[in-house]
Structure 1
Amino acid sequence: RLKKIFGIKWANPMVETGFELNEIVGSAVELSKYERSKGFKTFKVDTRRTNKSFPIGSMRMNELLGAEILKNFPDLRVNLENPDFTINVEIREKGVYIYSESERGPGGLPVTTGGKVLLLLSGGIDSPVAGWLMMKRGVKIDCISFISPPFTNDKTRWKIIEVTKKLSEFSSGHPIHLFLVPLTDLLMHIKERIPDDYMLVVQRRIMMKVANRVADTIGAFALTTGENLGQVASQTLQNLHTIEEASDRMVLRPLLTYDKEEIISRAKEIGTYDISIQPYPDLCVLFTPEHPVTKSKLEKVKKVEEKLGDISKMVEEVMNDMEEVVIRNGEIIEDS
């Protein structure tokens, strides 16, 4: 579990003892026995004494403990430069802590120390990885996902929830609020009134507006997406600029420069890949035109959007049909 808590760089399974020398020696010998059972032949002792009231200095403790270990295990040898294992001894105010193993944690910053963002979570591989990276930098995420029944079905909903469950395992016990927004009527309205080549960009801009409205209600400072420069038609510099202009807050794109292979590798590492590749209908695929514009012009986009009518009213209407699922530590704790 510690490997999923951001802010932990290293984890050391320790033995805690009192300040009696015999107790410290006994624990150091037991740990050496354990390491010797792995076939290790060389060791060193490394003592750090932050409790200056302890009467024995660090160097002297190294000598004493090393001598006792050699007495118990004559086949071992001291190697100060490149030992097979190290007996670490930390003498602190409340006790003595002894360990021989260190496990690397995920690093990063504790979740919530960097504020809150709203992740635009699709059914693909990229956006879950983007959310994971934001949490690694100390940011709490909530998620919004757009669905379009009956074109998407219960399996699509299941897929999105399962990905969110997996992400919640890295949220340090903080719940993730997943907002499922049905966009079928609005997408059909766009399809009927917007030229095919500009339909994709307009769809993304409307999603930004809805996401901003949700972000307002939950107090999210920014939006986050899994967009990757040049990966698909909507992710050219020109289109990213046009789409982001529809947002009232900044849009963070942690995957912007990643290769697809890097994203897939990370998705496998965090456990979202096998869920993301499930072949269930995805809104982003279902409503993608055959030849979308790749170098959109903002002025033209705003002009064609006039054909849609009152966009703010449409956003409020889809908000009324929104579903909220609250997930903590891989489990649903509330479903509206």
Structure 2
Amino acid sequence: MTIEYDGILLRCDELDHWSTQIRNQAIILLIENVKSALADQSISFKNIQSVCQKVFIETNDIVEVAKTASQVFGVSSMSPVSIIPKDELSLSDSHDKTHFEECDDKVFRSTERLDGIGGLPTGFQGRAVCTISGGLDSPIAAFKIMKRGCIPIFVHFDNFPFGDESTKNLAIRQARKLTEYIHGHEIKMYIVPHGDDLTEVLRHAPRKMTCVFCRRNMYRLAQEIARIEDADAIVTGEIIGEQASQTTRNLLAEESAVDDIPIIRPCIGDDKVEIEKMARKIDTYKFAHEAVSCCSLPPKYPTVYADIKKIKSAESKMDMGLIATEMAQAEVIIIQAGVKDH
């Protein structure tokens, strides 16, 4: 027997234990994001509305609506459903694979449950400056923070003349890929020149600490972007022990360069197997074969235990005004226009 479906029922399981007021706010935001996602793909629907802390999309295009909605943050699962008036429901409607969900005077009947991407609706949390290096880890870190409802502001630090154009172009393509998961919100990417402050580091810092000073300046630049964009955090792809600059002691020394914004490292405890698995899942692994070293400066014998006193002594000799100069030279790319700009 062929079931005639009335539409798709979207579930947001993570909201189940939240207060009614917060759930309602999240559902309203989710509806707007789903509308934008469907509009981006030119997929038609008759109506979309909140029903008992879920979202019902009335449509004849079941397959395409389900495919698109499954990639909207906040949707944990979905089902094609037919609607039965509650007073007409009978045992004859039931069999082993049938599931019923009651809402007011209606019952939504479904026979399958499809997975969604999960997380929280985009925009439910604040904005976050997400560094994109062109490597494998940073897109995963950005994706994880995006999944928690944050709107990303991407940034790539252009190391020219110590890096080449291909790394910058790769980072932009990675940001565009990640933006495919964001709907209805403007997404920016900053390309910030980073070569002049690195030159200053080479002049005044111990060579074995080059990467520590490099990261300190990247954090300073990211902090300036956060101030401009009213962002709540800086997000990086660092993993403990993956590189010499990512030992716990070096991370401590590096993040002390910024003082009024948290640095979030969503991948901090992951290993490469986990990173590669996630990259395949979100379709950023395809860039892996293009990834090259974004910088030619890492020393042969880098420090793994940075001394903050030596860092401050070296920085006292540097022209830190270069941070402001580099920010003034930053290029801003609009990766995606917001709803108001469509």
Q: Same fold (TM over 0.5)?
A: yes
Structure 1 counterpart of 2:166:
155
The letter for the 2-side match of 1:140 is I
Structure 2 counterpart of 1:14, which letter?
A: V
Post-superposition CA distance 1:236-287 (Å, at most 9, x none):
111000001001211111111111110111011111111143044513xx22
Deviation for aligned residue 1:162: 0.9
Change (3 A) 1:153 1:196: closer
Alignment partner of 1:224 is 2:256: no
Structure 1's unaligned 5+ residue stretches are 20-53, 67-77
Residue 210 (structure 1) aligned with residue 238 (structure 2): no
1:164-212 CA-to-partner distances (Å, cap 9, x unmatched) read: 0111122233232110011122212211221101211111111111111
Map of 1:269 onto structure 2: 281
Q: Which AA in structure 2 matches 1:65?
A: D
In 2, the alpha carbon distance for the partners of 1:55 and 1:274 equals: 52
Equivalent position of 1:293 in the other structure:
303
1:15 aligns with 2:23: no
Mean Cα deviation higher: 136-145 or 150-159: 150-159
For 2:91, the equivalent position in structure 1 comes to 63
**Paired residues for 1:140-219 under 5 Å:** 140-219=151-230
The aligned counterpart of 1:257 is: 269
Superposed, 1:75-114 pairs within 5 Å as 83=96, 86-93=97-104, 95-114=106-125
| 2:136 and 2:285 in contact (8 A); partners too | yes
Q: Is the 8 A contact 1:12 1:99 kept in 2?
A: yes
Letter in 2 for 1:300: K
* 8 Å CA contact retained: 2:135, 2:292: no
Q: Give the length in aligned residue pairs.
A: 271
Aligned CA-pair RMSD: 2.2
Work out the CA distance in 1 between the residues paired with 2:281 and 2:237: 17
| Letter of the structure 2 residue corresponding to residue 317 of structure 1 | T
What amino acid is aligned across from residue 264 of structure 1 in structure 2?
A: E
Q: Does residue 335 of structure 2 align to residue 321 of structure 1?
A: no
Q: Is the 8 A contact 1:163 1:276 kept in 2?
A: no
Q: TM-score when scaled to structure 2? A: 0.74
SS in 1 for 2:153: strand
Gapped regions of structure 2 (runs ≥ 5): 1-67
- Picking from 274, 286, 305, the partner of 2:315 is 305
Distance 1:94 1:181, change over 3 A: farther
Q: Does 1:244 align with 2:311?
A: no
- The TM-score normalised by the length of structure 1 is 0.75
SS in 2 for 1:264: helix
Any conservation in 1 of the 2:121–2:148 contact (CA below 8 Å)? Answer: yes
Look up the SS of the partner of 1:326 in the other structure.
Answer: strand
Offset, 1:229: 0.6
How far apart are the structure 2 equivalents of 1:91 and 1:240? 51
Separation in 2, partners of 1:117, 1:141:
5
Larger relative CO (CA 8 A, sep 6+): 1 or 2?
1
How far off is 1:91 after superposition? 4.9
C-alpha separation between the residues in 2 aligned to 1:108 and 1:90?
Answer: 22
Tell me by how many angstroms 1:295 deviates. Answer: 0.3
- CA deviation profile, 1:108-161 (whole Å, cap 9, x unmatched): 111221211111211110010001111111222111110123443442222111
